[in-house]
């Protein structure tokens, strides 16, 4: 009887810790997805370029998103379809780290 009680108690504690670890891992994955640093967008069309502010805007999935081009050598042109790698900055526009012309630009 004593062995059965020990076995049941051990199994219960083991299941509780496994459940807590799985919940914590799931929460960490959500947090990483929310921060999204670095992120990758593909096939976005450039709709606006502001050389004075060193920013550009793309249309992605029906939304306009503005990026800072501070880390880029050159701004993209309006109408280009580009692949963007960027990092999220708190309180400001997302910072584009690299842009590449998409294969969709090649006709």
pLDDT digits (tens, 9 = 90+) for 42-65: 678 899 999 999 999 998 878 888
What is the dotted CATH code of the domain comprising 39-105?
Answer: 2.40.50.320
Nearest-angstrom CA–CA distance, 4 and 12:
12
Nearest-angstrom CA–CA distance, 25 and 13:
19
pLDDT at 59: 87
pLDDT at 47: 93
- Above 60 in pLDDT, residue 32? no
Chain-wide mean pLDDT for the chain? Answer: 76
Distant-in-sequence, close-in-space partners of 84: CB < 8 Å, separation ≥ 6:
40, 41, 42, 44, 58, 67, 96, 98, 99
List the Cα angle 75/101/67 in 5-degree steps. Answer: 40
All structural domains of the chain with their residue ranges: 1-35, 39-105
Question: Residues 7-16: what's their mean pLDDT?
Answer: 75
């Amino acid at each position: 009887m004593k062995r059965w009680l020990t076995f049941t108690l051990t199994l219960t504690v083991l299941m509780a810790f496994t459940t807590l670890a799985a919940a914590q891992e799931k929460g960490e994955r959500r947090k990483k997805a929310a921060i999204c640093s670095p992120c990758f967008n593909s096939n976005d069309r450039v709709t606006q370029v502001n050389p004075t502010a060193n920013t550009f805007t793309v249309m992605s999935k029906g939304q306009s998103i503005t990026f800072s081009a501070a880390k880029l050598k050159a701004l993209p042109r309006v109408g280009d379809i580009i692949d963007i790698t960027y990092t999220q900055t708190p309180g400001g526009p997302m910072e584009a780290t690299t842009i590449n012309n998409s294969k969709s630009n090649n006709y």
